[in-house]
Amino acid sequence: MANEGSPGADETPDETPQAATDPLNDTSAYQRCFACGVRNPDGLQLVFRQEGEAVVTEFTPDLRFQGFPGVVHGGILATLLDETLSRMATAQGRWMMTARLEVRYRAAAPVGQTLRVSARTLAARARMLTAAGEIRLADDPATVIATAEGTFMALPPGYEQEAVERFPDLAGFFEF
């Protein structure tokens, strides 16, 4: 169910947020990714930015994203890390898919408190990238909620063309 005031699945908002116009973010007409799609009213609507060598985003979870009462579901935390770590490849001008993600949960993430997610590259090769990241409370950076390490692989041959043919709104998505 869409949030009140949010566009429905087939509607388009009047504007893309200003912060979502850089290469780290989807500026295509599609924008339906659960994690980063600003046109997905049921998603996280993450917007990424580069801070030095790191990619960063913030997210304030509401009750829709809880597991145990008052605590953000671990799958949502994993999604935040997965998407942020993958943006290290995007920062290098390429889209990649997750091959492996290992998450270590360190503290409960309270619903309603802003989370700061950051990632950095550990190693990069032509067809693979390894990144590490963490989630901390934005207003208490000493509190580490979760850490992760992930490996990301090049998209399968033909994937980009097939995706654009199937979803024409993706035109331009894979271009840097």
Element (H, E) at 87: helix 74-91
Per-residue pLDDT of the chain (176 residues; tens, 9 = 90+): 333 333 333 444 444 444 445 789 988 899 999 999 999 999 999 999 999 999 999 999 999 999 999 999 999 999 999 999 999 999 999 999 999 999 999 999 999 999 999 999 999 999 999 999 999 999 999 999 999 999 999 999 999 999 999 999 998 888 88
What is residue 22's predicted lDDT score, i.e. its pLDDT? 74
Amino acid identity for residue 10 in this structure = D
127 Cβ neighbours under 8 A, 6+ residues apart: 153, 154
CATH 3.10.129.10 fits 19-170, yes or no: yes
User: Do residues 153 and 143 touch, judged by C-beta distance below 8 A?
Assistant: no
What is the model's pLDDT at position 21? 53
Q: How high is the pLDDT of residue 27?
A: 86
Whether the CA torsion 77, 53, 88, 15 is positive or negative: it is: positive
CB–CB of 108/71 below 8 Å? Answer: yes
Is 127 in contact with 64 (CB distance < 8 Å)? no
Question: Global pTM?
Answer: 0.87
